[in-house]
Structure 1
Amino acid sequence: MEFWVEDLGLLPYGEAWAYQKEVHQEVVRGKRPPTLLLLEHPRVITLGRKATGENLLFPESWYRENGFELFWVERGGDVTYHGPGQLVGYPIFPVGREVRRFLRQIEEAIVKVAAGYGLEAYPTPGYAGVWVGEDKLCAIGVAVKEGVSFHGFALNVSTDLNDFTVIIPCGLKGKGVTSLEKLLGRKVPMPEVKERVVQAFAEVFGMAPRYGGTA
Structure 2
Amino acid sequence: MSRAAVRVLRLGLRPYAEALRVQERCVGAARAARGPGPGPGESVVLSEPAAPVYAWGLRGAPAAEAAERLRARGAGLAAARRGGRITFHGPGQLLAFPVLDLRRRHLPLRRYVAALEELVLRLCRRLGLAAARALPPPFTGVWMGDSKLCAIGVHCGNHITSHGLALNCCTDLTWFDHIVPCGLEGKGVTSLSRELGRHVTVEHVLEPFLDAFQEVFDCTLVFAEDPGD
Same-fold call, TM cutoff 0.5: yes
Q: Does residue 16 of structure 2 align to residue 13 of structure 1? A: yes
* Match 2:165 to one of 146, 153, 164: 153
Counterpart position of 1:179: 191
Taking the aligned partners of 2:68 and 2:85, their CA distance within structure 1 comes to: 19
RMSD: 1.8
Provide TM-score, normalisation by structure 1: 0.93
* Match 1:35 to one of 43, 52, 56: 43
Provide TM-score, normalisation by structure 2: 0.88
Match of 1:84, SS? coil
User: Per-residue CA shift, 1:110-135, capped at 9, x if unaligned?
Assistant: 00001112212111121320001111
What amino acid is aligned across from residue 152 of structure 2 in structure 1? I
Taking the aligned partners of 2:223 and 2:204, their CA distance within structure 1 comes to: 15
Matches within 5 A, 1:62-141: 62-96=69-103, 98-119=108-129, 120-126=131-137, 127-141=139-153
Taking the aligned partners of 1:197 and 1:33, their CA distance within structure 2 comes to: 21
What amino acid is aligned across from residue 133 of structure 2 in structure 1? Y
User: Per-residue CA shift, 1:4-25, capped at 9, x if unaligned?
Assistant: 1111011112222122111101
* Match 2:58 to one of 45, 49, 74: 49
* Match 1:207 to one of 198, 204, 219: 219
In the TM superposition, what is the alpha-carbon distance from 1:95 to its structure 2 partner?
1.3
What amino acid is aligned across from residue 43 of structure 1 in structure 2? P
Match of 1:18, SS? helix
User: Per-residue CA shift, 1:162-210, capped at 9, x if unaligned?
Assistant: 0110110011111111101001111124223011111101000110111
Match of 2:134, SS? strand
What amino acid is aligned across from residue 211 of structure 1 in structure 2? F
What amino acid is aligned across from residue 19 of structure 1 in structure 2? V
What amino acid is aligned across from residue 20 of structure 1 in structure 2? Q
Identity of aligned residues (%): 37
What amino acid is aligned across from residue 29 of structure 1 in structure 2? A
What amino acid is aligned across from residue 64 of structure 1 in structure 2? R
Contact kept, 8 Å, 1:88 with 1:155, in 2: the verdict is yes
In the TM superposition, what is the alpha-carbon distance from 1:33 to its structure 2 partner?
2.8
Unaligned runs of 5+ in 1: none
User: Per-residue CA shift, 1:39-65, capped at 9, x if unaligned?
Assistant: 0112010111121527x9x62122222
Unaligned runs of 5+ in 2: 34-38
Match of 1:124, SS? coil
